Every structure is written in C-alpha cells, then in structure tokens.
Amino acid sequence: MNAMVVVRGAGDLATGTILRLHNCGFRVAALDIPQPSAIRRAVSFCEAVYDGACTVDGVACRCVESFAQCEEAWQAGEVPLLIDPAGERIRELRPAAVVDAILAKRNCGTSRDMAPITVGLGPGFTAGTDVDAVIETQRGHDLGRVLYTGAAAPNTGIPGIIAGYGAQRVLHAPAAGPFEPCAQIGDLVEKGQPIAAISGTPVLASLTGVLRGLIRPGYPVTKGLKIADIDPRASERKNCFTVSDKARCIAGGVLEAILHLAAERGIAL
C-alpha cells in the first residue's frame, strides 16, 4: 500500500488517525495552522509546528515546507506536517483521500472534489454532500461508527462523562493573556490547587485527578479558551502519554471508510 492520505488537523484525535493510517502503510501528510492550541500536547503531532519535530507512540512527525521534504520524511519513516490552514496544498499533493480531523464542529472548507475519497470527523459534515463518509466522535455506543449518509450527532458542548465527571473535567481560561503553567501534564493535582496563571489570574484545578492535558506554555489564550483537562482516575496517569481509546476508535472508523470506499469505487491503494 503506497497511497497518500492528507489529514487536516494534527491534534490528539487527528494524531490517532494519522498513526493508524501510517502504521497501515499509507503515506500520510498532516496539515495544521501556524499556532495550534492542542491540550493533549504529549500525544499531538501538531507540537512539531513549534519544535520542528515530535514523536508520538514511537512515530516521528517533522514540520516541512515542500513536497520534496514530504518525500524525504516518508522515506525516513516519518509523518510530514505542513502549515496550511486552508488546505491549499492538497491539490499539489493529489492524495487518494482527505480526512478532515480538525474537530471544529463545523466544516472548515473540506469538499468532495479535494480527493477521490473524503472523510469528515464529527459534527459539521454531511455524508454524501460535502464528504463521502462521516465518523461519529461522540462517546457512547456509536463512537467510531462510519456514516455514508447523514451527519454525526450534534455537538452537545459537554465533555463525555468519566468516573461521574463531565464538564468539570475541562478548564477554560478565566482571562486573556499568555499562559503560565506551574504544573505539567501527568501531574496529580488536588481540587483548588493552582496549576497556572493568566495575566495574574490563577487557574485552579476543578477536581482531584491527573492533569491529562495542558495548553502550551506562553500560548496567548483568549478568555473562555479550553486550556486544561483533568482525569479523575489516578490510575490513568501513565496513559497521558499514549494515544487515547477514543482516538484509536475513531481511527478505526477512518480506516474502514477509506478501505470500503476504495473497494467500492475500484480505487487502487
């Protein structure tokens, strides 16, 4: 298998999809914005935008600028990442499939004419209209299900329940300004404990648990932006640094959709 797949987005859920496709033999290129705001940075390829390169689950991702550099990355067994928020490089790359994994809860410009196969993750897409298939991203029985008609469940705005906690698991910026953390991903924190400050305003842990995600130090946050994620299960500490069960489930749906549509349409991969 040597087909190319372009994945728009390189956050934690997108990274799960990129890894699955890469490990199955696809040449995967990721596209992202100039200043990603991933929370689960330890398992997000978008960190390569800032650091030049990063590694998740043993696979390296390198930020590149040209198609030639993409080829070099693939030859080295790496995933190339291009800064391309609008997807303007897609037509140059001419992939067999495009996966929109931006998870913006809306379509950020992905259309069926971008590639022979197009897949959208979560709400904001309609299968058969703007993409060929939609993958359900809402936790529950249908997580990872492939839809070839219709849309995913609408965004509730409420995080999935883990150990009885939902909205409390996610912290949002109480003010605007540069993010100054005093804790790190993987730390065990107590409810009410300071974990960061923004323009002098403290950010306190909303519950006791493991700091699973934390936005990048120095990031210029806006008030209300998601900045941290706490898992109430202390036993999950080791899993802060591996791709999540949710990301792997969604990735399986993406792989299924690509293989199914390729077989149905006679597209060689």
**pLDDT tens track for 82-122:** 999 999 999 999 999 999 999 999 999 999 999 999 999 99
* Measured distance CA(227)–CA(101) in Å, rounded: 20
CA-wise closest residue to 134 among 245, 253, 19, 267: 253
The predicted structure's pLDDT at residue 1: 63
Q: What's residue 163's pLDDT? A: 64
CA gap 2, 146 in Å, rounded? 23
* Cα 126 to the center of its chain, rounded Å: 20
The string of pLDDT tens digits covering residues 13-34 is 999 999 999 999 999 999 999 9
Banded pLDDT at 235 (limits 50, 70, 90): confident
Q: How many CA atoms lie within 13 A of 261 on its CB side?
A: 25
- In 3-132, the DSSP E strands lie at 4-8, 27-32, 53-56, 59-64, 79-83, 97-100, 117-121, 126-127
Q: Which among 148, 149, 153 has a CA at the least distance from the CA of 257?
A: 148
- The DSSP code for 126 is E
pLDDT of residue 2: 84
Instruction: Judge whether 52 and 60 are in contact, CB under 8 Å.
Output: no
CA–CA distances in Å: residue 21 to residues 182, 222, 225: 36, 34, 30
Structure tokens at 66: 């040209």
pLDDT at 167: 78
Report the SS3 class of residue 169.
helix
